[in-house]
Structures are given as C-alpha cells and as structure tokens.
Structure 1
Amino acid sequence: MQIGALGQTSGVSPDTIRYDERMGLLSPPGRRANGYRVYGPAHLERPAFVCHCRDLDMPLADIQRLLHLLDHPMEGDV
C-alpha cells in the first residue's frame, strides 16, 4: 500500500508518517522503481501507536525507548 492508504488506515496523516520515518519511529518502507514508498502489514499498527503516545504528551525520546523495548523485549532497559 502507498502512504495515503496507510494514513487512512492508521488515522495518521502522510506528513506525520514521513516525519516519524525521519525520526526513526517507523521502519523505512520499501520503494518501487518510481520511488514511491510501499508499506506492508508490518507498518499498519505503529503510526497509530506513535500518535497515541503523542496524545499522551510523551517526549520523542520516551517514544523511541518504548518502541525499542517493543522491538527488542529480551534486551531489557535501554
């Protein structure tokens, strides 16, 4: 799916998705030959999760730490 479809599905704007990618909150998507981003099923939940964290006024560093723990649960504290 492309960024517009991901935005509609997750309830997050494409600009926010791009920003979150630059900040390392979202894993980079694959790219088509024309340069368009291609998002898969693994990208569906994370934008909404990050948005909810922002709604709770969590600082960016805390969101990054939380996502790291979600991605690497066996590593313990960062």
Structure 2
Amino acid sequence: MNIVRRLGASPRQRGSMTGQTCPDLFELDNGDFAVIGTEATAELEPSLPVDASRGDHERIVIVSRETLLRAKVDIPDA
C-alpha cells in the first residue's frame, strides 16, 4: 500500500509555519484514503451514535474543517 497523492492543500498552504504536524488527507493506491489527525478516540467514542462502532484496530481522529473542505475538490465522486 502506497500514498498516491495528497487531497487538498498542504499544511504549509493552509498556513502552517513549519508545514509539519498538521492534519492531512491522502489517497492510497488501492483506492482507500489515509488521514493524519488528532487522536480523539477516548473523548468521542462515548458519543458515537448507537448504529456506529469502532473496532479495536480503529481510532477516531479529528481533521480540521478547513483541511476537509479544501480536500473536497480532490475527492472523487466514485
């Protein structure tokens, strides 16, 4: 599995002075997506809807609104 491309603007383009340690979204060569975000599993898991669940290998991460909105243009419809 490899990263094919970044979705949206880079952290530096979104205003990060160092261009590091910021939320990011990537498309993988198998069609899946990878997310760099702030780990928030313990905080958010209790408020998941009753029809949502998380496997032991999964984490809930927060990605800033700006990061996701700026990636929208690069997210394929299908």
- TM category (shorter chain) comes to under 0.3
Higher relative helix content: 1
Could you say which structure has the larger radius of gyration? Answer: 2
Of Structure 1 and Structure 2, the greater strand share is in 2
TM-score (normalised: structure 1): 0.23
Relative contact order higher in (CA < 8 Å, ≥ 6 apart):
2
